[in-house]
Amino acid sequence: MVHSDLGGDMALVGKKALLLGASGYPAGTMVDEDFAWFYLGDGFELAKNVFKDYGVVVGLLSEGQELFCHSHKPLATAADLDGIKFRTIGLWAEVLGSFGASVVTISGGEVYQAAEKGVIDAFEYAGPTVNWPMGFHEIMEYVGVPGIHSPTASHPIQVNPQAWNELPGDLQQILMAAIERQSYEWSTELLVTDSASLQKYRDYGTEIFTVSDELQAEIAKRSLDITMKYVAEEPGFKEIWENKKAFVKTYKEGKAATKLKYSIYD
């Protein structure tokens, strides 16, 4: 049993992998939106169809939002990104490059050393819960939020077809239910542990900056422009895009209508 990986998935099935939950989709779905589309919408069936030649999709692993970056200075505006040596991958790399950043693609295991040696000026990796134990605060003075470049990281879980077919039906259902439950619990737990980890950064002395509204809006615009290019160029992308867009629009309307402006817990 394996979960999907951005680079590997795109090599197998193309840019469609981005819509099926891979991390690094700027201004894309939040974790609850991805989870809802997969389990309440058509995401599960669409993922099964896309990956049918490689494995049986049996669930979704959803993770939280990434930090926008670790850096030596605030990267809050479009002008701040120009000329920055920024480590990232995927669609965000394409968007980031359009702002004049110099994109560097290296593995996660090389990030600390690359930043320490000045090979890169900034990087994204994961969310606060994962990043804090990596020790990035030791070498980078700033952390950026929100992670608009990667609002969630959701990975379809795949099983070898032969092994799956050998399982009795009841065990298949139990496994799928366990994956769904674990994904929900993990993504919910991250909301708590990410908050605690951000406080660790503050206590350490790391400066936390907020990406400007103007830059966030421009990132969303450029991400949509590239998405429309994928819609025109890649077979099958349009079907998934339109399906997901319609579902998420409805889901967002429901969230907006029930969101409280005031709470006794604020």
Q: Residue 105 pLDDT > 80, yes or no? A: yes
Q: DSSP label at 110? A: G
The answer on pLDDT for 7 being more than 70 is no
Helix then strand then coil, % of the chain, to nearest 5: 55, 15, 30
- Per-residue confidence band for 4, with pLDDT thresholds at 50, 70 and 90: low
**Model confidence pLDDT, tens digit, residues 83-103:** 999 999 889 999 999 999 999
Say yes or no to pLDDT of 189 above 70: yes
Tens of pLDDT along 109-126?
Answer: 999 999 999 999 999 999
Q: What is the pLDDT of residues 213-244, one digit of tens each?
A: 999 999 999 999 999 999 999 999 999 999 99
Nearest-10 Cα torsion for 266, 133, 184, 63? 100
pLDDT digits (tens, 9 = 90+) for 128-181: 999 999 999 999 999 999 999 999 988 899 999 999 999 999 999 999 999 999
Sorted by where each begins, the domain ranges of the chain are 2-65+148-258, 69-145
pLDDT band of residue 10 (cuts 50, 70, 90) is confident
**Global confidence as pTM:** 0.93
Per CATH, the number for 69-145 is: 3.40.190.10
DSSP 126-177: S-HHHHHHHTGGGT-SEEEE--TT-S-EEEEEEE-HHHHHHS-HHHHHHHHH
What is the pLDDT, as a whole number, of residue 1?
A: 55
**Residue 118 Ramachandran class (φ > 0 left, ψ -120 to 50 alpha, else beta):** left
Query: 2-65+148-258 and 69-145 share one CATH topology?
Result: yes
Whether the Cβ atoms of residue 124 and residue 88 lie closer than 8 Å to each other: yes
pLDDT at 11: 82
Contact 102, 84 (CB under 8 A): yes
Q: Between the CA of residue 19 and those of 15, 47, 72, 210, 221, what are the distances in Å?
A: 8, 9, 32, 26, 17
Is residue 58 a contact partner of residue 52, using CB atoms and an 8 Å limit? Answer: no
pLDDT-derived band of residue 21, with 50, 70 and 90 as boundaries?
confident
Q: What CATH class does 2-65+148-258 carry? A: alpha beta
86's tokens: 């920024």
